[in-house]
Chain A
Amino acid sequence: MMKGDKLRITIDIFSGRENPVIVYKGKKLREVSERLSPIRKFQTKELGFPPVPTLGYRGLVVEQVGRPVKELPSTFRLGLGTAYGREMSYIIADEDFEDFVCGSVPKKLPTDVFRKEIARYVELTAYWNSWRWTEGGILLKKDKCKCAPIYEPGWWNVSTRQPYNNCYNYGTNYRTNTFAQPGRASGAMYSAINCNEVKAGAVSDELIDSPGANNKCPSEGHLVALVVAPGWDYHWYRKGKDGSWSHKPGSTAVTNLDNSGNTIVDPRNADRGGYSIFCTFMVVKHGHVKIS
């Protein structure tokens, strides 16, 4: 490190006002340089910058005067622990570098505001990472569960299918028009409404009990979840291609909302009305199950 070396960091956050700038030099520069040292190349599967301009925090712009960090270009952008420059992207030593910068922000950007903006930026980046561009330039949601059925309520919610197929039909993605019951096809239908009985019926229909699935997609087939309203009914949810859950409450329409009108990220935490017992996750291997 040479005398006169310094780092100018612009916090890219404002739209109308000039962005705040922090200049590091001297002793502080040595610490900053260590934090910015590249440790490995960025992998394409990792989060990148959001692909569209956004209002609010958008990352840091780092300008090196005298190149105190030689492995990095004289100017680069930095966000969420990744440095992006011309034909390069690296994970830096301090993946929480922005948090470190919070300790030196000028007065016009209060620390708590900056921290909130960083948190929002993390969410925004994760959101954009769940989409992909096609070769034709169309933005599509990435498929989280490639083997899972697509969410197509329009196919189920018609008068020839909706009244005659229940949550078990929808969960297994198997239309029978018989209001299918766990175990009925294999002659082992449940004899009481509790987790063990209904699950045993489903297992006899060739569903695979996967209590440790923890809301993760299986490598083959798709994930379903069994819940029970003790003594009076059971219910099934299914995890779709995009990783979200949907269900069909009895003879009503297919929906991806819970009883509070919220999308279902995890059936264990969804508003399930009286279906208070979460029993288990199970896997439906396509072509293996038989229900009636």
Chain B
Amino acid sequence: MTQYTARAFIFSGRPDPTWFVEEQQSRRLEAIWNKLKPSISPAPTVPKLGYRGVSMVCASNEEFIAFDGNVKRKVGNTIEWRRDKERLFERLLLSTAPKSLLPAGVIDI
């Protein structure tokens, strides 16, 4: 069974909230990823206060990071970008967080 850990990039002082993603949900996320169209890496953004995206990492070192309509998949040194205009991946991943773990009203997507 593949174990995924998610993390919302949101805090500055406190450690960012993390949670486990159930296998069924991770399969749904991978299905979304497989349907997304490849894209080029977006322009780098200025580090900001507040919500800055969400990631999902598995023990095999595979990592997804979603923010602002883009999803990045990193395996070892290989990076791939895909466009997620509807932010389906990001929304679903955030929805897997336990209730009240993420501050209300801060993540507005």
Interface residues of A (CB under 8 A from B): 166-168, 179, 181-182, 193, 198, 229, 231-236, 247-255, 257, 259, 261, 272-275
Q: How far is the CA of A54 from the CA of B72 in the complex (A)?
A: 49
Asked if B106 is at the interface of the complex by the 8 Å CB criterion, the answer is: yes
Residue from A167, A198, A252 with most neighbouring chain B CB atoms (10 Å): A252
Q: How far is the CA of A236 from the CA of B14 in the complex (A)?
A: 11
Q: Name which of B26-34, B35-43, B45-53, B57-65 contacts chain A.
A: B45-53
Q: Which residues of A contact B50 (CB under 8 A)?
A: 259, 273-275
Q: Name which of B5-13, B80-88, B89-97 contacts chain A.
A: B5-13
Q: How far is the CA of A181 from the CA of B50 in the complex (A)?
A: 18
Q: Which residues of A contact B49 (CB under 8 A)?
A: 235, 249, 259, 272-275
Give, as a whole number of angstroms, the nearest-CB distance from B77 to chain A: 13
Are the CB atoms of B13 and A234 closer together than 8 Å?
Answer: yes
Task: Tell me the nearest residue of chain B to A193, going by C-beta.
Answer: B14
Q: How far is the CA of A259 from the CA of B52 in the complex (A)?
A: 12
Are the CB atoms of B12 and A253 closer together than 8 Å?
Answer: no
Q: Which residues of A contact B9 (CB under 8 A)?
A: 250-252
Q: How far is the CA of A249 from the CA of B50 in the complex (A)?
A: 8
Q: Which residues of B contact A181 (CB under 8 A)?
A: 13-14
Give, as a whole number of angstroms, the nearest-CB distance from A133 to chain B: 33
- Knowing A250-B11, A251-B9, A274-B106 are in contact, say whether A261-B46 is a contact too (CB < 8 A): yes
Task: Tell me the nearest residue of chain B to A236, going by C-beta.
Answer: B13
Task: Tell me the nearest residue of chain A to B102, going by C-beta.
Answer: A232
- Pick from B11, B15, B46, B106: contact of A257, CB under 8 Å: B46
- Knowing A250-B16, A274-B106 are in contact, say whether A232-B11 is a contact too (CB < 8 A): yes
Are the CB atoms of A233 and B46 closer together than 8 Å?
Answer: no
Q: Which residues of B contact A231 (CB under 8 A)?
A: 103
Q: Which residues of A contact B52 (CB under 8 A)?
A: 249-250, 252
Task: Tell me the nearest residue of chain B to A157, going by C-beta.
Answer: B47
Give, as a whole number of angstroms, the nearest-CB distance from A12 to chain B: 41
Q: How far is the CA of A182 from the CA of B12 in the complex (A)?
A: 13
Q: Is the interface of A mostly helix, strand, loop or mixed?
A: loop
Q: Which residues of B contact A259 (CB under 8 A)?
A: 48-50
Give, as a whole number of angstroms, the nearest-CB distance from A256 to chain B: 10
Are the CB atoms of B12 and A255 closer together than 8 Å?
Answer: no
- Knowing A232-B103, A274-B106 are in contact, say whether A249-B14 is a contact too (CB < 8 A): no
Give, as a whole number of angstroms, the nearest-CB distance from B54 to chain A: 13
Beta-carbon contacts of B63-82 to A below 8 Å, as 1s and 0s? Answer: 00000000000000000000
Q: How far is the CA of A253 from the CA of B44 in the complex (A)?
A: 12
Known: A229-B106, A275-B49. 4 other contacts (CB 8 A): A229-B103, A233-B12, A251-B16, A252-B47
Q: How far is the CA of A191 from the CA of B51 in the complex (A)?
A: 23
Q: Which residues of A contact B47 (CB under 8 A)?
A: 248-249, 252-255
The 4 A-B residue pairs with the shortest CB-CB distance, nearest first, are: A252-B47, A232-B103, A273-B50, A273-B49
Give, as a whole number of angstroms, the nearest-CB distance from B52 to chain A: 7
- Knowing A232-B103, A232-B106 are in contact, say whether A166-B13 is a contact too (CB < 8 A): yes
Are the CB atoms of A235 and B12 closer together than 8 Å?
Answer: yes
Give, as a whole number of angstroms, the nearest-CB distance from A157 to chain B: 9
Q: Which residues of B contact A182 (CB under 8 A)?
A: 13
Q: Which residues of B contact A252 (CB under 8 A)?
A: 9, 47-48, 52
Q: How far is the CA of A248 from the CA of B11 in the complex (A)?
A: 11
Give, as a whole number of angstroms, the nearest-CB distance from A268 to chain B: 15
Are the CB atoms of A234 and B12 closer together than 8 Å?
Answer: yes
- Knowing A232-B103, A274-B106 are in contact, say whether A166-B12 is a contact too (CB < 8 A): yes
Task: Tell me the nearest residue of chain A to B106, going by C-beta.
Answer: A274
Q: How far is the CA of A254 from the CA of B47 in the complex (A)?
A: 8
Q: Which residues of B contact A229 (CB under 8 A)?
A: 103, 106
